[in-house]
Chains A and B, each alone.
Chain A
Amino acid sequence: MALIEENHEDNSQLKQFLTFRIGEDIYGLDILRVREIRGWNKPREIPNLPAYIKGVIDFRGGIVPIIDLRLRFNLAKANYDKETVVILVSVTQSDRETIMGIVVDRVADVMDVSASDIKARPNLGTKLDTRYLPGIVNRKDDMVLLVDVDKLLDPETFGRVVEELQDYE
């Protein structure tokens, strides 16, 4: 992370985020963590896993778990439609990189943000555990919550899951 930020600082002051929607809320994601954006396809279901893990898919030869962010954020369940999108992101934990997929309602845009525009994270949050929300970007009409995927996708849990999946495989 530090390396990326450093790169950004080196090359420009701009950082790029991929924005997406869950319900009415817009979230942003560091674009460098994104590996691919896919349309929703029903993954292979695995028994005895938490409900927010919808299953696994094959991604470039590896097994990748698919997490429904709505369930992770404890939001109301939404139907999957043809604009539902899976974003495959790379998660780093203890110098180990893992690929995971997150299901979002809509993918919105690529957003260029200068570092100065990033506000600190809010102190209060009723709906969210704010540890994985490093900051907020205000825009003309709306507000984008930036998401730290390393924290959001609880690496220990998912790591174990991934290990188990690899064993299973």
Chain B
Amino acid sequence: MKSFLGRLKVWQQVLLVAGLALSIGVLLAIAQISQLKADAERQRKAVGGAELIAALQPVQLNMAVHRGNTALVKAGNTQSIAAANAAADSLETALADLGKKEQAYPKLAGFHERISSAWRDLSGRVNSLDSATSFREHTQLITEIRVHMMELAQESGLSRLPEDDLFYLQAGVVRGFPATAENLGVLRGRFSGLAQRAFTEQGVTAEELAVATPLMSEIREVNVQLKSFSEHAQDAAPSLLAPYIQGITRVIEQTQSLIRQTGSIQQSLPMQSVQGTADPQLPRQYFSDASDVIKTVVAAWNDSASLLTTELERRASQAEQFVMAVIAGVVIITLLVAWIGYSVADLLRRNLGAEPDELETVARAIQGGNLDVNIESGSTGVYETLREMRDQLRDNNQRLEEQLRSNSRIRQAVDNTSTSLMIADENFNIIYVNPANMRVLTNQQDAIRSRLPEFDPATLLGKNIDVFHKQPSHQRKLLSGLSEAYSTDLALGDARFNLTANIIRDEDSNDILGYVVEWKDQTAEVNAREDIDRLVRAANAGDFSTRMDAASKEGFYRTLAENLNDLVEIVDTVTDEIRDAMQALASGDLSARLAVTHKGKFGEIADAVNDGLGKMAGVVNEVVEAAESTRASSHEISTGNRQLSERTEKQSSNLEETASAVEELTSNVRNTADNARQADQLSAQARDSAMAGGEVVKDTVNAIEEISQSSDQIAEIIGVIDDIAFQTNLLALNASVEAARAGDQGRGFAVVATEVRNLAQRSANSAREIKDLIEDSLKRVKTGAELASKSGTNLQAIIGDVKKVSDLISDIAAATEEQSGGIEEVNRAIAELDEITQQNAALAEEIASASESAVENTEMMGDALAFFNGGGRTMGVSARPSALSAAPAHRDSAPAPVISDIGGKSASSAVSKSATRASAKPSPRPAAPDADLDDSDDWEEF
């Protein structure tokens, strides 16, 4: 067993344990579930029992009703046949219902067939049976039904229900209520039948009535049972079973009352029967009272049965649901356990990464120093960590070896370098002096000993660094506080050193491991620097006579000293030459030149100075010539200026004439404007008159038209008259005809008719004449109307024309206004022109004075240039005398025309200006310019 477990892997072991635990749990769960399922089935079966019992109830009741009615029929009450038949039908229905219910519960089936056949048998025979037998057989069947109820309760487990509330409920339903109902039914039938006999000849005795007594005691017993059921129910579930308990209470009350009633009847009826005082309604009354009680019982029974069924049903489905819930829970828990087991195994496998014994082997190998042990990569957990540890160890080893090699390299480099190094430990003890440093110290040991007599380079190693210092504590503090390289100079006797100190620190902890000091011997360097310093200072001060002592130097410093001496020499020479040349220039001599033998920049300087001097000489010559031409130009300007002045005056007089002409023009234009305005008014009047004429003509035309209309009316009237004349004529003719037919009797009448005809004809003729006249006058009127309308049209045309004329005149007036404005502008322009002309005249004067001063300036320039005459050695000097001789001649002629041109006033102002300028700006030049100024004064006087 152990070997088997040992062969398994760890995660497999975990899974095995989890699986075992799980299977035990599942087995237990299955057992529990089957138990629960059995419970649920039991409940379901109990439901079947309750339902079948409920179905049996109407069978029992209807059977009882049939029994009672059959008994009444047998007693001679034919009215009850219908009731009996109805009960039989209800019974059949109840039986059919029972059959259906039984099909739903095959395990509890069988009774339906039995009771049905028994009932068929009884109903077939009932007519031939006597009353007592019928009653008995019915009662037997009912008893059978009741027994079966109890059997059903037994078989379906109703009577064995473990729940108290349901047990006491079913007890009432199965035993209490059926018994009470049946007993009451029997009592009702028997007792009412006996009571009935009290009113027959047969009569009834107290002994016979005592038959009811055992029945009543039975009822009481059942009541006691019911009472105890109700009490238990009250204890078990008062609220759920409240209808049941109330039903029992009602049943007990009513049965008690009925029993009391029965008892009193038992006592009183035989006596009353004998005395004949019995109430004949009593049996019927009793029957109905008993029926009421039975109804109460049945109602309570029904309520309780349905309560039982419902409650059982509810609990059964609850139990089934619970089973389902338990199964679901078991499944979920199983899955959960399986998942946890798998997770734990997986976690273990990943944390270890390999089997424990393998891990042990690897760890031991590493401990033993075997770093090349085979460890597979890509695993996890402890195994992978071991692999990483092994790799890291291997890397560290390699790094240490490399560091050792590099240290050795550096040591040799330091030994062989020319830089002199000294290294001290953290306590400032000298632990290393490299050969270069040893050399430096040995070279200068004499100089050092002058300061430190004990000093010996050979014994330096192992000594404290304090030997070099007077104040070791200060030095130590300084060194230990360093954050970067520290450089200082050290003088030991005549020896000069430059020391660079630095701290060596641990790379990781940053602790001080020691100090390194670099020694530089600077004795020779310092001496040379002081010499050069002296030389350069002298040169900076302009003293090029100082030289370095080259003989005392060696090597580089000697070469440097010689070269510096040469440089100073050259600079000295060149500056001397430049000084000489400039002194000559200052004295006006432009002929001095530098020696051309210098090299490089010095040569360039010499060339530049020589060039500059030469060019200056040339420029001086050109300026002299330019001054000459400037003087000539100034003369021309003066002449032009005079002409300009004349023309300006002429222009001014022309402008005045123009101005007066324009003024005349202005007044003319104003007159025109007034005339145009008057014409405008006149034309407006004309237009108004023409319009009035037009109105008159229009009225005339209207009047003529009215006349024409009247004439038409007259013509119509005449037409009517003409008609009348014609008709009259016709009438007269007819009269003549009649007269003719009348013969002699009509002669007088014929004469009258003839007269009438004549009159008619005359009136017709007159009408015709009037008509002609009127037509004639109509024609004339029409002509008149045409003429009037034509004159109206003409007038309209006249109005239009007058309007046009008026517009034109308005335009003329406006144009004249504009002209007037324009002329005013012209006036203003002329005034401006006049002003400008005045300004021009002033400008001409200013130009005159300006040209005068230009001449003045030219002369001054000539004087200035005369300064450069002193040399007389170059080509420019040869040209100068002629320019100089020409200048006075110009001066004689030039100013004279200028003065006469400008006129007295301006001339004198110009001259005074130039005079003030000459006196206000005294030239910085010495004697010669002064002589020139005197000359110009002479010219002014001239």
List residues of chain A with CB under 8 Å of any chain B CB: 7, 11, 16, 18, 31-32, 34-39, 82-83, 85, 107, 109-110
Set B733, B743, B750: member contacting A107, Cβ < 8 A: B733
**A110 CB contacts on chain B under 8 angstroms:** 733, 736-737, 740, 750, 754, 757
List residues of chain B with CB under 8 Å of any chain A CB: 723, 726-727, 729-730, 733-734, 736-737, 740-741, 743-744, 750, 754, 757
B730 near A82 (CB under 8 angstroms)? no
A31 near B736 (CB under 8 angstroms)? yes
**A109 CB contacts on chain B under 8 angstroms:** 757
6 pairs, CB–CB < 8 Å, chain A vs chain B:
A18-B737, A31-B737, A35-B737, A36-B734, A109-B757, A110-B736
**B733 CB contacts on chain A under 8 angstroms:** 18, 37, 107, 110
Q: How far is the CB of B598 from chain A (nearest CB, A)?
A: 154
> Which of B733, B734, B744, B757 gathers the greatest number of chain A CB atoms within 10 Å?
B733
CA distance A78 to B864 in the complex (A): 143
CA distance A131 to B192 in the complex (A): 156
B740 near A37 (CB under 8 angstroms)? no
A82 near B723 (CB under 8 angstroms)? yes
CA distance A39 to B727 in the complex (A): 8
Set B737, B743, B750: member contacting A11, Cβ < 8 A: B743
Q: How far is the CB of A105 from chain B (nearest CB, A)?
A: 13
CA distance A157 to B895 in the complex (A): 155
Q: How far is the CB of A107 from chain B (nearest CB, A)?
A: 6
CA distance A132 to B750 in the complex (A): 28
B730 near A107 (CB under 8 angstroms)? yes
A32 near B730 (CB under 8 angstroms)? no
A39 near B754 (CB under 8 angstroms)? no
B740 near A31 (CB under 8 angstroms)? yes
**B736 CB contacts on chain A under 8 angstroms:** 16, 18, 31, 110
**A34 CB contacts on chain B under 8 angstroms:** 737
**A82 CB contacts on chain B under 8 angstroms:** 723, 726
Q: How far is the CB of B477 from chain A (nearest CB, A)?
A: 167
CA distance A37 to B741 in the complex (A): 14
CA distance A85 to B727 in the complex (A): 11
Q: How far is the CB of B105 from chain A (nearest CB, A)?
A: 118
Q: How far is the CB of A60 from chain B (nearest CB, A)?
A: 14
Q: How far is the CB of A143 from chain B (nearest CB, A)?
A: 21
If A31-B736, A82-B723, A110-B754 touch, whether A38 touches B741 (CB-CB below 8 Å) is no
A83 near B726 (CB under 8 angstroms)? yes
B740 near A16 (CB under 8 angstroms)? yes
Set A7, A35, A85: member contacting B730, Cβ < 8 A: A85
CA distance A11 to B740 in the complex (A): 12
CA distance A18 to B739 in the complex (A): 12
B730 near A39 (CB under 8 angstroms)? yes
Q: How far is the CB of B764 from chain A (nearest CB, A)?
A: 10
Top 9 nearest A-B pairs (CB, nearest first) are A31-B740, A110-B736, A34-B737, A16-B740, A37-B733, A37-B734, A37-B730, A31-B737, A36-B734
A32 near B740 (CB under 8 angstroms)? yes
**B750 CB contacts on chain A under 8 angstroms:** 110
CA distance A138 to B596 in the complex (A): 177
Q: How far is the CB of A136 from chain B (nearest CB, A)?
A: 21
**A85 CB contacts on chain B under 8 angstroms:** 730
Q: How far is the CB of B745 from chain A (nearest CB, A)?
A: 11
Q: How far is the CB of B537 from chain A (nearest CB, A)?
A: 161
Q: How far is the CB of B718 from chain A (nearest CB, A)?
A: 14
CA distance A82 to B719 in the complex (A): 11
Q: A37-B733, A37-B737, A110-B736 are in contact. List 6 more A-B contacts (CB 8 A).
A: A32-B741, A34-B737, A38-B730, A107-B733, A110-B740, A110-B750
**B737 CB contacts on chain A under 8 angstroms:** 18, 31, 34-37, 110
Q: How far is the CB of A81 from chain B (nearest CB, A)?
A: 11
A11 near B744 (CB under 8 angstroms)? yes
**A16 CB contacts on chain B under 8 angstroms:** 736, 740
CA distance A31 to B735 in the complex (A): 11
| Closest Cβ neighbor of B731 among chain A residues | A37
CA distance A36 to B731 in the complex (A): 9
CA distance A83 to B767 in the complex (A): 15
CA distance A58 to B409 in the complex (A): 174
**A35 CB contacts on chain B under 8 angstroms:** 737
Q: How far is the CB of A102 from chain B (nearest CB, A)?
A: 14
Q: How far is the CB of B137 from chain A (nearest CB, A)?
A: 126
| Closest Cβ neighbor of A83 among chain B residues | B726
| Closest Cβ neighbor of B764 among chain A residues | A83
CA distance A109 to B732 in the complex (A): 10
CA distance A16 to B935 in the complex (A): 168
A39 near B726 (CB under 8 angstroms)? yes
Q: How far is the CB of A149 from chain B (nearest CB, A)?
A: 14
| Closest Cβ neighbor of B729 among chain A residues | A107
CA distance A36 to B734 in the complex (A): 6
Q: How far is the CB of B754 from chain A (nearest CB, A)?
A: 7
| Closest Cβ neighbor of B743 among chain A residues | A11
CA distance A110 to B727 in the complex (A): 16
**B757 CB contacts on chain A under 8 angstroms:** 109-110
CA distance A31 to B726 in the complex (A): 19
**A39 CB contacts on chain B under 8 angstroms:** 726-727, 730
CA distance A35 to B734 in the complex (A): 8
**A31 CB contacts on chain B under 8 angstroms:** 736-737, 740-741
Q: How far is the CB of A91 from chain B (nearest CB, A)?
A: 16
**A83 CB contacts on chain B under 8 angstroms:** 726
Q: How far is the CB of A142 from chain B (nearest CB, A)?
A: 17
Q: How far is the CB of A35 from chain B (nearest CB, A)?
A: 8
Q: How far is the CB of A17 from chain B (nearest CB, A)?
A: 10
| Closest Cβ neighbor of A108 among chain B residues | B733
Q: How far is the CB of A114 from chain B (nearest CB, A)?
A: 15
**B723 CB contacts on chain A under 8 angstroms:** 82
| Closest Cβ neighbor of B737 among chain A residues | A34
**B734 CB contacts on chain A under 8 angstroms:** 36-37
**A36 CB contacts on chain B under 8 angstroms:** 734, 737
> Which of A7, A31, A83, A110 gathers the greatest number of chain B CB atoms within 10 Å?
A110
Q: How far is the CB of B763 from chain A (nearest CB, A)?
A: 15
Set B726, B743, B754: member contacting A7, Cβ < 8 A: B743
CA distance A35 to B741 in the complex (A): 9
Q: How far is the CB of A96 from chain B (nearest CB, A)?
A: 20
Q: How far is the CB of A85 from chain B (nearest CB, A)?
A: 7
| Closest Cβ neighbor of A35 among chain B residues | B737
Q: How far is the CB of B938 from chain A (nearest CB, A)?
A: 142
Q: How far is the CB of B561 from chain A (nearest CB, A)?
A: 167
CA distance A31 to B743 in the complex (A): 11
Q: How far is the CB of A5 from chain B (nearest CB, A)?
A: 14
| Closest Cβ neighbor of A85 among chain B residues | B730
| Closest Cβ neighbor of A34 among chain B residues | B737
Q: How far is the CB of B747 from chain A (nearest CB, A)?
A: 10
**A18 CB contacts on chain B under 8 angstroms:** 733, 736-737
**A7 CB contacts on chain B under 8 angstroms:** 743
CA distance A82 to B757 in the complex (A): 18
| Closest Cβ neighbor of A15 among chain B residues | B740
> Which of A18, A37, A38, A107 gathers the greatest number of chain B CB atoms within 10 Å?
A37
Q: How far is the CB of A156 from chain B (nearest CB, A)?
A: 27
> Which of B723, B727, B736 gathers the greatest number of chain A CB atoms within 10 Å?
B736
**A11 CB contacts on chain B under 8 angstroms:** 743-744
CA distance A35 to B757 in the complex (A): 18
CA distance A107 to B757 in the complex (A): 12
Q: How far is the CB of B647 from chain A (nearest CB, A)?
A: 107
| Closest Cβ neighbor of B727 among chain A residues | A39
**A32 CB contacts on chain B under 8 angstroms:** 740-741
CA distance A156 to B754 in the complex (A): 37
CA distance A36 to B736 in the complex (A): 10
| Closest Cβ neighbor of A36 among chain B residues | B734
| Closest Cβ neighbor of B722 among chain A residues | A82
| Closest Cβ neighbor of B753 among chain A residues | A110
Q: How far is the CB of A59 from chain B (nearest CB, A)?
A: 13
Q: How far is the CB of A58 from chain B (nearest CB, A)?
A: 18
Q: How far is the CB of B139 from chain A (nearest CB, A)?
A: 128
Q: How far is the CB of B652 from chain A (nearest CB, A)?
A: 105
> Which of A7, A31, A36, A38 gathers the greatest number of chain B CB atoms within 10 Å?
A31
Q: How far is the CB of A160 from chain B (nearest CB, A)?
A: 28
